[in-house]
Amino acid sequence: MTKIAIIGAGLSGLSAARFLKDRAEITLFEKARSVSGRISTRRAEPYFFDHGAQYFTARTKAFNDFIQPLINQGLIERWNARYVKFDNGKIIERKNWINDEPRYVGVPGMNKIAKHLAKELNVHINTRIISLKRGDLWQLTDESGQVYSDFDWVISTTPSPQAAELLPKRFIYYEDIKDVKMHACFSLMLGFSESLPLEFEAAHVIHSDLSWIAVNSHKPGRADPFTLMVHSSEKYSEAHIDDDRETVMQHLMNETSNVIGHDVSIANYKTVHGWRYANNVKRKNCHIFLDPDLKLAACGDWCLGGRVEGAFTSAYNLVNAMKDSVL
């Protein structure tokens, strides 16, 4: 049976593995201590934070069909939040998502989706692949020097800058992937003993060093303690991604307090996480990165604008192309 190595166990990698598992022997390699990628959940008892993707929409038939069984099982639910948009600390737009396009979340955390998809798959966690070498077959080496051999195909689902570092320059789409630039993002996580009296559960922020504020504990199936999840703006993140994290956290807390009109420094739990590769610089759609000669491929949310559905669709399109032409 064909052996395929998939680098990255976020939604793209897991989706590709699920689609291919009946046709090939699949092994996934994930550098983190758990699957999920950008659909991650941070636990700091008694607080829980979706510190990557906040929610997702489903606008294609393929993705709707894919998530429907998970909805039926209660692993995905609709999030009906009161939404606002802030500009200079003032609310300029209000909307109730119960009357709008459905926004979905994993239950009880975003990472529940990834953990469900990873069941019965062969996943090596805490395994960062640092080099690829091809003779008759592909050989992968991780950062500890462990070698994994005899793969017919390798699929990279890492962010485009990491894919460009790992993939050989003779890959026919190497320059295309290298051209896809990505912005950083900070995730500020705040846990409180008491709820703040806010007029919203989800908010976009413009003309600020913030871009997003959400009451994470309002999402379906979440634990009771009140939590806020804040994302920085792309401009601020790019300028400060290498700064001291305590300094970044204090600045983002000050910004949050100014926007919502409540002092968030009273939070019982405070931390910040930096995503070096979070969002595409340009929201452009890319073609399928499939090299039949090298038996090498790449996909990810960055191929289709950075959305959760884009992660799935990129893998879906790639696997269909592989099934039609090379498997």
Tell me the CATH number for domain 42-114+182-281: 3.90.660.10
Using alpha carbons, list the distances in angstroms from residue 125 to 9, 72, 174, 314. Answer: 9, 29, 26, 23
Contact 322, 20 (CB under 8 A): yes
Q: Where are the domains of the chain?
A: 1-35+118-179+286-327, 42-114+182-281
Quick one: pLDDT at residue 284?
62
pTM recorded for the entire structure: 0.95
Partners of residue 297 on adjacent β-strands: 155, 290
Tell me the backbone φ, ψ of residue 48, rounded to 5 degrees: -135, 135
Q: CA nearest 276: which of 298, 243, 251, 300?
A: 243
**Encoding tokens for residue 302?**
């960055």
Quick one: pLDDT at residue 283?
62
**Encoding tokens for residue 229?**
């999840």
Render each residue's pLDDT in the chain as its tens digit; 327 residues.
Answer: 999 999 999 999 999 999 999 999 999 999 999 999 999 999 999 999 999 999 999 999 999 999 999 999 999 999 999 999 999 889 999 999 999 999 999 999 999 999 999 999 999 999 999 999 999 999 999 999 999 999 999 999 999 999 999 999 999 999 999 999 889 999 999 999 999 999 999 999 999 999 999 999 999 999 889 999 999 999 999 999 999 999 999 999 999 999 999 999 999 999 999 999 888 777 666 779 999 999 999 999 998 877 899 999 999 999 999 987 777
Question: Is 1-35+118-179+286-327 CATH 3.50.50.60?
Answer: yes
What SS3 string covers the chain?
Answer: CEEEEEECCEHHHHHHHHHHCCCEEEEEECCCCCCECCCCCEEECCEEECCCCCCECCCCHHHHHHHHHHHHCCCEEECCCEEEEEECCEEEEEEEHHHCCCCEEECCCCHHHHHHHCCCCEEECCCCEEEEEECCCEEEEECCCCEEEEECEEEECCCHHHHHHHCCCCCCCHHHHHCCCEEEEEEEEEECCCCCCCCCCEEEEECCCEEEEEEHHHCCCCCCCCEEEEEECHHHHHHHCCCCHHHHHHHHHHHHHHHHCCCHHHCCEEEEEEEEEEEECCCCECCCEEECCCCEEECCHHHECCCHHHHHHHHHHHHHHHHHHCC
| R_g over Cα of the chain | 20
